DNA sequence: ACCTGAACACCGTTCAAGT
DNA sequence: ACCTGAACACCGTTCAAGT
């Protein structure tokens, strides 16, 4: 039976879940699928593209936030959903980061953040800054957490003392406070003109 | 003549400057130093540790900000200095990111951010959140920019349309506005008690 | 103290060929 | 359309041995 792109992504997820990103080689993935390494190159042009698709897949369950929420609550909701999706799959934040950097990812989640910011009435540049600040926070902090978790799992390191969830909450609170403040400043400026 | 740790880091920087992180292999680095690959393992236990040292080295010129600045201006100054140091060496943001994640980096720059936040009178959790938000923004956005730049340099992609400097300024403005707002809320709470 | 030689166990990717 | 066999040009790391 022939293999599909979906099979490949599922197998890749499974390698991350049971092992790590370091173990996610084309050869290993092929073995897991009972196929020769070259077979993967019929479905994806290269590893980079495969990883970008995997990253998009992992974030695919981040949908538009409930529309009875205020704009800032919607931002928070999307940010937390992104982080939850990443935390469900080991090393996924690193995968998403590389996909975004390579330009091979759709970065579709960012639209939900942008939409919420627009509904808040933020200017184009304020929206852009806000989306960047939130996205980099989610990805970057989760990379650090997941790398740490892998090291603990391998026993190369003892348990750390950082509370990543609390750190995330604190950082997100600052960014959202900034968003509200920038919006308020905009409103005053508009009213004065 | 024997090689020093400093020589190794200088050669690594040069490989980044003239080529890329993908070209920075232990074997390539050794060749550049006129030495056998194994020689590097006398100076550093493994590649990960070497990269962490390189990351620290690249950020070493980010010093304490001028002390005649306000606390929030100091935060901005450190953030911009971090970004400037990274932008001076191709792919360095990725190197710093991996060093931070592995736990092998000193993350010394974060102290300057923490100090400025403390002088602003921010609570411990607000400081932690603020430092995280700024650090992840600098690293994450610069990774995206530098990866893009390498792709353009290799001609695999045409020039993009993102203005990373403007994006950074917008995002940093939001975070700093958040810091000031959180501080104001703290001050009110303190006065009321 | 600092390095080399030789080897181990891997990589991503390509290309021709098979069904 | 989908895959295999065989090969190319690499990796990081280790270990014994050299000076």
Distance, in Å, from the CA atom of A96 to the CA atom of B109, rounded to the nearest integer, reads 26
**CB proximity B167 to A under 8 Å:** yes
Q: Is the CB of A177 less than 8 angstroms away from the CB of B178? A: yes
Q: Is the CB of A181 less than 8 angstroms away from the CB of B178? A: yes
Instruction: Record the tokens describing residue B38, joined without a space.
Output: 């194994």
* Nearest CB to A133; choose among B126, B144, B174: B174
**How many domains does the structure of chain A reveal?**
2
The distance between the two most distant Cα atoms of chain B, rounded to a whole number of Å, is 69
- Mean pLDDT of the region A127-141: 98
Instruction: Report helix, strand and coil shares of chain B as percent, to nearest 5.
Output: 75, 0, 25
**pTM beyond 0.75:** yes
Contact list, B107 vs chain A (CB under 8 Å): none
Q: Which residues contact A14 (CB under 8 A, 6 or more apart)?
A: A32
- Mean pLDDT of the region B131-142: 98
The residue among B120 and A187 whose pLDDT is bigger is B120
Q: Is the CB of A171 less than 8 angstroms away from the CB of B133? A: yes
* Nearest CB to B137; choose among A136, A166, A182: A136
| pLDDT tier at B8, thresholds 50, 70, 90 | very high
| pLDDT tier at A162, thresholds 50, 70, 90 | very high
* Nearest CB to A102; choose among B97, B147, B168: B147
Contact list, A140 vs chain B (CB under 8 Å): 97, 135-137, 139-140
Based on the fold, state whether residues A129 and A67 are members of the same structural domain.
Answer: yes
Give the containing element (helix H, strand E) for B77: helix B71-87
Based on the fold, state whether residues B100 and B183 are members of the same structural domain.
Answer: yes
Rounded to the nearest 10 degrees, the angle between the axes of helix B92-102 and helix B47-58 is 120
Contact list, B49 vs chain A (CB under 8 Å): none
CB atoms within 10 A of CB A44: 18
Chain B residues 119-138 with a CB less than 8 Å from chain A:
125-126, 128-130, 132-133, 135-137
Based on the fold, state whether residues B180 and B92 are members of the same structural domain.
Answer: yes
* Nearest CB to B130; choose among A132, A135, A174: A174
Distance, in Å, from the CA atom of A48 to the CA atom of A43, rounded to the nearest integer, reads 13
Look at residue B56 and tell me if it is in a domain. Answer: no
Residue range(s) defining the domain that contains residue A10: 5-45
Give the Cα-Cα-Cα angle B123, B126, B127 (nearest 5 degrees): 85
Question: How close does chain A come to B125, measured CA to CA in Å?
Answer: 6
Look at residue A73 and tell me if it is in a domain. Answer: yes
How many CA within 13 A on the CB side of residue A92? 24
Based on the fold, state whether residues B87 and B156 are members of the same structural domain.
Answer: yes
Q: Which residues contact A169 (CB under 8 A, 6 or more apart)?
A: B129
Distance, in Å, from the CA atom of B18 to the CA atom of B26, rounded to the nearest integer, reads 16
Predicted confidence (pLDDT) at residue B193 exceeds the cutoff of 80: no
Q: Which residues contact A172 (CB under 8 A, 6 or more apart)?
A: A76, A79, A80, A134, A137, B129
**Please, which positions of strand D sit below 7 A from a protein CB?**
1-7, 10-16
| pLDDT tier at A192, thresholds 50, 70, 90 | confident
Q: Which pLDDT score, from 0 to 100, does residue B175 have? A: 99
Based on the fold, state whether residues A172 and A89 are members of the same structural domain.
Answer: yes
Instruction: Record the tokens describing residue A159, joined without a space.
Output: 């348990």
Look at residue A50 and tell me if it is in a domain. Answer: no
How many CA within 13 A on the CB side of residue B17? 10
- Residue B28, classed as helix, strand or coil, is helix
B17: left (phi over 0), alpha (psi -120 to 50) or beta: alpha
| pLDDT tier at A141, thresholds 50, 70, 90 | very high
Based on the fold, state whether residues B151 and B94 are members of the same structural domain.
Answer: yes
Q: Domain with A40 in it: what CATH number?
A: 1.10.10.60
**CB proximity A159 to B under 8 Å:** no
Look at residue B57 and tell me if it is in a domain. Answer: no
Look at residue A89 and tell me if it is in a domain. Answer: yes
**Please, which positions of strand C sit below 7 A from a protein CB?**
1-7, 10-16
For residue A128, the chain B residue with the least C-alpha distance is B167
Q: Is the CB of A151 less than 8 angstroms away from the CB of B102? A: yes
Q: How far is CA B84 from the centre of its chain?
A: 9
Question: Which of A72, A107, A136, A153 is the best residue to mutate to test the B interface, defined by the most B CB atoms within 10 Å of its own CB?
Answer: A136
Q: Is the CB of B169 less than 8 angstroms away from the CB of A126? A: no
Q: Which pLDDT score, from 0 to 100, does residue A107 have? A: 98
Q: Domain with B105 in it: what CATH number?
A: 1.10.357.10
Give the Cα-Cα-Cα angle B97, B103, B107 (nearest 5 degrees): 65
Q: Which pLDDT score, from 0 to 100, does residue A15 have? A: 98
Closest by CA to B100, choosing from B64, B63, B142, is B142
Look at residue B94 and tell me if it is in a domain. Answer: yes
Instruction: Record the tokens describing residue A3, joined without a space.
Output: 């293999």
Tens digits of per-residue pLDDT, A48-63? 999 999 999 999 999 9
CB atoms within 10 A of CB B80: 16
Based on the fold, state whether residues A86 and A32 are members of the same structural domain.
Answer: no
Look at residue A52 and tell me if it is in a domain. Answer: no
Based on the fold, state whether residues A103 and A40 are members of the same structural domain.
Answer: no
Look at residue B158 and tell me if it is in a domain. Answer: yes
Based on the fold, state whether residues A40 and A73 are members of the same structural domain.
Answer: no
Based on the fold, state whether residues B27 and B67 are members of the same structural domain.
Answer: no
Distance, in Å, from the CA atom of B50 to the CA atom of B35, rounded to the nearest integer, reads 16
Based on the fold, state whether residues A108 and A149 are members of the same structural domain.
Answer: yes
Spatial contact of A171 and B175, defined as CB atoms under 8 Å apart? no
């Amino acid at each position: 039976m022939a293999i599909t792109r979906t099979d490949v992504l599922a197998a890749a997820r499974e390698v991350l879940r049971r092992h790590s990103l370091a173990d996610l080689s084309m050869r290993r993935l092929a073995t897991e699928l009972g196929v020769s390494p070259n077979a993967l190159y019929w479905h994806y042009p290269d590893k980079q593209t495969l990883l970008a698709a995997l990253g998009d897949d992992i974030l695919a369950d981040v949908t538009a936030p409930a529309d009875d929420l205020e704009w800032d609550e919607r931002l928070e909701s999307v940010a937390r959903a992104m982080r939850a999706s990443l935390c469900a799959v080991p090393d996924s934040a690193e995968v998403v980061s590389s996909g975004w950097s390579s330009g091979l990812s759709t970065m579709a989640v960012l639209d939900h953040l942008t939409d919420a910011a627009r509904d808040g009435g933020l200017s184009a540049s304020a929206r852009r800054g806000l989306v960047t600040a939130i996205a980099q926070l989610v990805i970057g902090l989760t990379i650090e957490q997941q790398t740490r978790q892998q090291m603990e799992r391998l026993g190369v390191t003892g348990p750390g003392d950082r509370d990543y969830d609390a750190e995330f909450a604190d950082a997100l609170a600052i960014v959202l406070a900034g968003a509200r403040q920038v919006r308020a400043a905009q409103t005053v400026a508009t009213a004065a003109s």
